Amino acid sequence: MDLLEKIKEKARKQKKRIVLPEGSEPRTLQAANQIIQEGLAEIILIGNPDEIINYSKENNLSYIRKADIINPLEHEKKEYYTDMLVEIRKSKGLTREQAVELVEDPLYLAVLMIKNGDADGEVAGADNATGDVLRPAFQIVKTLPGISVVSGAFIMILKDKEFGENGILVFADCAVHPDPTARELAEIAVATGQTTKAIAGFEPKIAMLSFSTKGSAKHEMVDKVVEATNIAKEMNPELLIEGELQVDAAIIEAIGVKKAPGSKIAGKANVLVFPTLESGNIAYKLVQRLAHAEAIGPVLQGMAAPINDLSRGCSVSDIVNLVAITSNQAANK
């Protein structure tokens, strides 16, 4: 069974409640229909009920009748969620008038539902930019204890099985935090180790990447990666992690042996942690395009609840897959 099938199988067993705030977006509706048909999750759609029902009828999406449909403009918990939002954001000066407006925004409503235990996870982004999906999540559900920064991992499935874990590598951060400090980079490494175990299903061997291997270059950017590696080891002494390593030393055995002799990770890494978002985002897209790798994600990590962001260019199957991953994260919580 391949990795995606395993993820789907686990989702089917858990049947988590996933909220899709872009409820009337056509790809989202087609994905929701497929998810319900395949039994991957219970679906809550936020949107105009008439639009959702009409589109479903016109396109033979017969399983949509099994979804819960929430109209963001009028539903029984509107007042209650408004009070909740005022309470959560009062230290930031949010007024009741502002909260009344925000609660009608499906992206805020979805996160409030999760915070209140009315949904287990969220997938959005087919119609909204990353920042607009993430901001309500950062403000309302916040991060896990001990983690201050949310980041995004990609599970990269290569055609060439000689790299990583039988052709699978996990890359991070490729999606969220532009320029992490050493402490934040350490948190990203620890969180990526957890994602690797929980979603990719193997023991992480983490390479902290740089343009230098074990002191071959001197620069403050290299110092940051070395410091991050040390902090990550303090955060989790069990973690198999090494830095700083160049990417060839991290993934190619012969080069790892030469550049970092005696290392347990060099040449065998199955998790690559990039020093900045630029490098991580560019790297995953290059590997996806030039090596024709399958890129599953971004899987958001470090958030106190499973919330995941799609690319606006996503396909129906991207949405189905991300809902299955979100259900797995909810099950592991």
Separation of alpha carbons 78 and 265, rounded Å: 51
Told to check if 135 binds ligand ACO by CB under 6 A, we report yes
The pair phi, psi for residue 30, each rounded to 5°, is -65, -40
Q: Cβ of residue 95: shortest distance to ligand ACO, in angstroms?
A: 15
Give the interface segment with ligand ACO, choosing from 57-65, 135-143, 201-209, 324-332 (CB under 6 A).
135-143
Region 82-111 residues binding ligand ACO, contact defined as CB under 6 A:
92
> According to the binding rule CB under 6 A, does residue 175 interact with ligand ACO?
yes
Helices of type H across the chain? 3-14, 26-38, 49-58, 78-89, 96-103, 106-115, 130-140, 182-195, 220-235, 247-251, 253-259, 277-290, 316-332
Residue 150 lies near ligand ACO (rule: CB under 6 A): yes
Identity of residue 43? I
Residue of the chain from 281, 301, 327, 329 that contacts ligand ACO (CB under 6 A)? 281
Indicate whether 27 belongs to the interface with ligand ACO (CB under 6 A).
no
The footprint of ligand ACO on this chain (CB under 6 A) covers a number of residues equal to 17
Min CB(278)–ligand ACO separation in Å? 10
For the chain, give the number of residues: 333
How many helices (H) and strands (E) the chain has is answered by 13, 11
Q: Which is nearer to ligand ACO, 107 or 260 (CB)?
A: 107
Q: Which of 14, 53, 77, 138 binds ligand ACO (CB under 6 A)?
A: 138
Give the β-pairing of 271-273 and 205-209. parallel
Closer residue to ligand ACO in complex, CB, 61/150 = 150
d(CA 121, CA 331): 10
Answer whether 199's CB lies under 8 Å from 324's CB.
Answer: no
Check binding of 126 to ligand ACO (CB under 6 A).
no
Given the complex with ligand ACO, which of 36 and 283 has the nearer CB atom?
A: 283
Which residues are at the interface with ligand ACO (CB under 6 A)?
A: 92, 130-131, 134-135, 138-139, 143, 149-150, 175-178, 281, 298, 311
